[in-house]
């Protein structure tokens, strides 16, 4: 009986691995303002600020860096900033961020008592903590000539597995170990892309005389320009994966896995894409 269960377990693992697939995506932008830097991050820059977007990783984490080039403080208003998919906006601001961690301490020393005279003590303790901390009204402060980095959201529930097999073309791909495999490739324009989205950032400087705010906004658009379906070829086999290129992300699909339950989802795009907060306990 145990032998039978072991065989069934091996077969189940084999079936799961054979029915899983990586989808690799390359993002582009048709914005008139902005370009990619050497790391393939999307960059918008003027005399006052430099904003860069990096999406490298699983499920396209939205990593934003804002550099203040001015001689006065700059503020990012996350409550007035959002990620927009199919005209559905999701605020970058999350009111509460979970905190958790571990504590430990140890001590060693001598002590004196009337009954035992001198004695040595060696103590050790450990524990853990968890809870939530309120963020300061969703605003980031950037001193002059400095930057802040944030990854407030990521995407998931991609519909890539619904693209017909006949829509792909087959190409040879050389992995990092020099093995050559066949991969499926599909290129898109902004109009027919399976995923396009916008990012809206609201920044402001403070008026020291009357306490007012001078707002400026920056909007960027992105879309999947190339989709590569590889089976079980891992990210490290791609040069873009090794270099963690900012325009490159991947999705790991496992056939039969329950992808309908998303913990921490905060909004749905009209195309079925789920925008997920990266501040959920599952990602710590």
User: What is the rounded distance in angstroms from the CA atom of residue 107 to the CA atom of residue 90?
Assistant: 49
Residue % of the chain over a pLDDT of 90: 48
Rounded average pLDDT over 147-165: 90
Answer whether residue 10 is part of any domain: no
Quote the pLDDT of residue 49. Answer: 98
Whether pLDDT at 246 is above 70:
yes
Torsion angle (degrees, nearest 10) of CA 151, 132, 275, 87: -90
Specify if 6 maps to a domain.
no
pLDDT digits (tens, 9 = 90+) for 131-155: 554 445 789 999 999 999 999 999 9
pLDDT of 88-128, one tens digit each?
A: 999 998 665 444 444 444 444 444 444 444 454 555 555 55
**Residue 115: what pLDDT?**
41
* Residue 8, domain member (yes or no): no
**pTM higher than 0.85:** no
pLDDT above 70 as % of the chain = 69
Q: How confident is the model at residue 35 (pLDDT cuts 50, 70, 90)?
A: very high
**pLDDT score for 225:** 97
- Whether residue 272 lies inside any domain: the answer is yes
Q: Is residue 2 part of a domain?
A: no
Of 83 and 273, the one with more pLDDT = 83
Strand order in the sheet with 274-277: 35-36, 42-45, 49-54, 61-68, 146-156, 274-277, 265-268
Residue 13 lies in a domain: no
Q: Using one digit for the tens of pLDDT, what is the confidence trace for 169-200?
A: 999 988 777 788 899 999 999 999 999 999 99
On whether residue 11 sits in a domain, the answer given is no
76-85, 165-174, 202-211, 216-225 — which is least confidently predicted? 202-211
Cα(41)–Cα(273) distance, rounded to whole angstroms?
22
In a domain, 134, yes or no: yes
pLDDT tens per residue, range 49-76: 999 999 999 999 999 999 999 999 999 9
Assign 269 a pLDDT band (cuts: 50, 70, 90). Answer: very low
**Containing domain of residue 102, as a range?**
19-283
**Number of separate domains in the chain:** 1
């Amino acid at each position: 009986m145990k032998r039978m269960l072991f065989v069934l377990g091996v077969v189940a693992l084999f079936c799961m691995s054979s029915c899983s697939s990586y989808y690799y995506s390359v993002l582009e932008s048709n914005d008139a303002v902005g370009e990619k830097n050497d790391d393939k991050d999307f960059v918008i820059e003027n005399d006052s600020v430099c904003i860069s977007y990096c999406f490298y990783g699983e499920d396209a984490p939205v990593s934003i860096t804002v550099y203040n080039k001015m001689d006065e403080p700059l503020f990012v208003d996350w409550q007035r900033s959002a990620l927009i998919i199919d005209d559905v906006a999701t605020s970058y601001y999350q009111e509460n961020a979970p905190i958790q961690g571990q504590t430990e301490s140890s001590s060693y020393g001598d002590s004196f008592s009337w009954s035992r005279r001198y004695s040595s003590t060696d103590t050790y303790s450990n524990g853990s903590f968890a809870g939530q901390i309120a963020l300061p009204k969703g605003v980031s402060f950037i001193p002059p000539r400095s930057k802040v980095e944030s990854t407030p959201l990521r995407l998931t529930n991609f519909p890539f597995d619904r693209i017909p097999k006949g829509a792909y073309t087959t190409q040879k791909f050389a992995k990092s170990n020099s093995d050559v495999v066949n991969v499926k490739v599909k290129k898109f324009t902004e109009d027919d892309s399976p995923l396009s989205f916008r990012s809206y950032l609201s920044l402001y400087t403070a008026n020291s005389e009357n306490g007012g705010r001078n707002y400026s906004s920056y909007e960027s658009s992105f879309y999947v320009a190339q989709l590569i379906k590889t089976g079980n070829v891992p990210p490290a086999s791609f040069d873009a994966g090794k270099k963690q290129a900012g325009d490159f992300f991947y999705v790991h699909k496992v056939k039969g896995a329950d992808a309908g339950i998303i913990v921490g989802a905060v909004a749905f795009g009209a195309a079925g894409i789920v925008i997920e907060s990266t501040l959920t306990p599952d990602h710590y």
